Every structure is written in structure tokens, then in C-alpha cells.
Amino acid sequence: MVYPEERALMLKHPDPMPAFEFTLHARDMLVERQIPEDWVWRALRQPDETFSGEDGTAHYAKAIEEKSGQVLHVVVNPTVTPHRIVTVF
């Protein structure tokens, strides 16, 4: 189920990247962990590494220069359209 406030957060991109939406949990994690949304899009567009979780989620990892190279992980449910960003850490 997509909550109305999540639907407003859905973004479509002009490039061939699929559409993504943030879950409320993922939005909360951005705030709690002080992660700029731009870093999430950077990880999705140009990941340093990708892998599949045992639960079918897609994991995108990206070293963030602004954080001394710390790696940002973006976990996505790719089985729904638009793909859902489940969490970030």
C-alpha cells in the first residue's frame, strides 16, 4: 500500500533509471541519520557495488566523499513499480 504522503514523494527520472519511491521508514532514516537525499540518488545512479539480498531486495553501495569515503547503503524492493527504497544506512 502506498500512503498518500508517500505518493507525493514519488519521483520519475528522465534517464533510463526506473522510478523509485521512498517508504516512510526510509524517509525517517534520512532524517535520523542525517543523510542528504542527493546521496541516495547518487548511489542509485552510479553505485560502486550492487548485490541482491536473500530476501530479494536490491542493495546499492556508494562511497560518499563528503563523509570521508564512508559507504552509503540503499536497500530497494525491486519487485514493485515504482521500486521502493526500503531503508538507507
- Per-residue pLDDT at 18: 83
Q: What is the pTM of this model?
A: 0.80
Q: Are strands 20-22 and 70-77 parallel, antiparallel or unpaired?
A: unpaired
Cell numbers for 46, please give them. 552510479
Tens digits of pLDDT across the chain (89 residues): 444 444 444 444 445 678 999 999 999 999 999 999 999 999 999 999 999 999 999 999 999 999 999 999 999 999 999 999 999 99
- Per-residue pLDDT at 17: 75
- Per-residue pLDDT at 59: 98
